[in-house]
Chain A
């Protein structure tokens, strides 16, 4: 490499220079072409230009109370629509209540605990945490309570909230939500249902399925799929529906997976009805088209909004929400006939 390489390196340099010059000419040309295409080839339908102008802001000037800081630490994974809605609810309440709102999340229990510790160290005026991994968070939440920081727990972990000294718990009991699905399936006259778990080993997903199986009069099968791989999720559901023709209902446990279940059902030529947990724009479309029969909404916006509001009320008026019992934000069963009312809220990401 060392000696005889010199001549070649020099040669290579000229070649490289020529190539760079060529690239310098092609890259802007390509960009211009893309820009031209973009302006020339406009879509007459949909897209950003088709968006409504309606804003989601509740408006109002906010209260005159003293500025306070509230931290929310959740177990949200990256890119989960659900937590986005929780967060926007909290932000809306924070804007209204003159609250500085800090948000952080980590799906690993001990990482989440460290984030809570950071909030305690910052001496925030209120703390909102999720207790998906109660053991990991136990000591740090107790520490916050001892430090005199009011704590509100949201989402999962209702059972663990009070023993840790939290003011209130605001969330949906996953088992209760599951039970609502089972009852709804009975009403639809279903006989064999499939519960699609998109994250193996997630306790709240298992609880939803278990709850549904408890109230459902028919039989219920479970299917574990790889939630970060949509084509695989779809083909697994498809395979299951082909393997067992008796399945007449599929329960998806998250909004994005409902679309995959609908596709799978079409491809498998199955007569199954699709039901899902949580809402998003495409679930609403599917509800309207009749592809999805019903959706169970746990109103995540309320979880964020009420938690911040509760901390503010506690500080300014010493209120406590729920009277020692968890405040349930769900389940609310959404069907085709609710669609017209909810559509615009879902579009702006608050339902």
Chain B
């Protein structure tokens, strides 16, 4: 927009340079999302009096981080051309395993945390392994996992704890140190920052490095862009996909431990429906549903948009009945924007 407004006043070569820069920027998958994030931020700064308070922003960041932690590996998975519908309940499974193992064994809670990591990674491996072995769409495989996990969460919890929530592990050894790692808060200047924000940023940095600087990153793009072509040039597509599912499982473990240590017990029915939030964040952030395109930073921006909107509506004190409507409208707009940006980017190539 600025380019066309400025253009007539400037010399021709200057304009050409400007356009190419702009186009290069437009080629970035997260651009559409960044524009959206700025727009949402400015909008709520005006619409809600309390939105710009430091404490409010830290609440928004927290809300964004709990989605963002999962949105990062989900974005990588989508770049790799696959879906995972089991993510929401997998987070709960991870928390349940950790809590119930520690409780039943009367073990230091870190033992439960470790066992939970193994179990969650195994679930991720199962998803990936089933996918590459059966060649069924990931939609079906992970839908099956989703339903099975939902049932297992409830069934095991009732069998072991005798209720639908786990028993408290708040008085057990290691709880305080585990809480410090997964659910603590610290003060930076005036702001109260949750540790989940650090996990989130760490995962974004790690994922970005993998995507852009390593061979595995190229494999992910290649697997999602065209699995057969990738296989033909020697990309280990199956291994890449299993790895991606295990990456999702790792993040589910982090999010699950947060869920557990933020409180000290877990409700077994939690998490259903959250899988869509992660996918939404990844898509708003520029991932394509068809794979081969997207970024980890974009997923973070997507999660931030999601956090800002969902809490912004509360700060603005609007009737929250309309929340889902805004969400739907935003997803649609973001996808349209991304499609448009991508078309422009392809036109420049």
Contact = CB atoms under 8 A, between A and B. Distances in A.
Residue from B168, B263, B272 with most neighbouring chain A CB atoms (10 Å) = B263
A222 B318 CA distance: 11
Interface string A64-79: 0000000000000111
Nearest to B122: A27
Nearest to A285: B168
A223 B311 CA distance: 11
B45 interface: no
B7 interface: no
A34 interface: yes
Contacts of A229: 270-271, 273-274, 277
B118 A30 contact: yes
Interface residues of A, number: 52
A96 interface: no
A243 B48 contact: yes
A239 B314 contact: yes
Contacts of B154: 78-79
Contacts of A38: 101, 105, 107, 111, 115
Contacts of B267: 79, 81, 230, 256
A78 B269 contact: yes
Given A43-B173, A242-B56, A200 B321 contact: yes
B102 A43 contact: yes
B55 A269 contact: yes
B177 interface: no
A228 B276 CA distance: 13
Contacts of B273: 226, 228-229
Contact of B172 (A45, A77, A81): A45
A184 to B, nearest CB: 25
Contacts of B323: 224
A235 B272 contact: no
A46 B169 contact: yes
A50 interface: yes
B276 to A, nearest CB: 11
Contacts of A260: 263
Interface string B52-68: 01011001101100100
Contacts of B62: 231, 235
B50 A243 contact: yes
Given A228-B273, A282-B263, A47 B53 contact: no
Interface string A239-272: 1101110000000000010011001000111000
A41 B165 contact: no
A1 interface: yes
A84 B315 contact: no
A81 B111 contact: no
B258 interface: yes
Given A34-B114, A242-B53, A50 B258 contact: no
B19 interface: no
A47 B105 contact: yes
B55 A232 contact: no
Residue from A47, A223, A285 with most neighbouring chain B CB atoms (10 Å) = A47
B162 interface: yes
Interface in B214-228: 228
B311 A236 contact: yes
Nearest to A234: B262
Interface in A136-159: none
Contacts of A42: 105-108, 173
A79 B110 CA distance: 26
Contact of A44 (B150, B173, B269): B173
B109 interface: yes
B242 to A, nearest CB: 11
A48 interface: yes
A43 B177 CA distance: 13
Given A42-B108, A50-B106, A236 B310 contact: yes
Interface in A200-246: 200, 222-224, 226, 228-232, 234-236, 238-240, 242-244
B167 interface: yes
Given A81-B163, A235-B311, A349-B162, A230 B157 contact: no
Interface string A154-177: 000000000000000000000000
A79 B272 CA distance: 11
A49 interface: yes
A228 B259 CA distance: 12
A114 B185 CA distance: 49
Given A1-B228, A230-B259, A269-B55, A46 B315 contact: no
A228 B48 CA distance: 26
A77 to B, nearest CB: 7
A11 B104 CA distance: 46
A41 B59 contact: no
B31 to A, nearest CB: 27
Contact of A37 (B114, B231, B320): B114
Nearest to B157: A79
Contacts of A263: 262-263
B164 A79 contact: yes
A169 B291 CA distance: 56
Given A238-B59, A282-B168, 14 more contacts: A34-B118, A38-B105, A38-B107, A38-B115, A41-B108, A42-B105, A45-B171, A47-B169, A78-B154, A222-B320, A228-B270, A231-B259, A239-B63, A242-B56
22 contacts: A41-B110, A43-B174, A44-B173, A45-B173, A46-B106, A50-B171, A79-B269, A80-B269, A81-B165, A81-B267, A84-B158, A200-B321, A228-B273, A229-B273, A229-B277, A231-B262, A232-B310, A234-B262, A236-B311, A256-B267, A267-B192, A282-B265
Interface of A: 1, 30, 34, 37-38, 41-50, 77-81, 84, 200, 222-224, 226, 228-232, 234-236, 238-240, 242-244, 256, 259-260, 263, 267-269, 280-282, 285, 349
The 8 closest A-B pairs by CB, nearest first: A79-B269, A47-B106, A46-B171, A231-B66, A41-B108, A46-B172, A49-B106, A235-B63
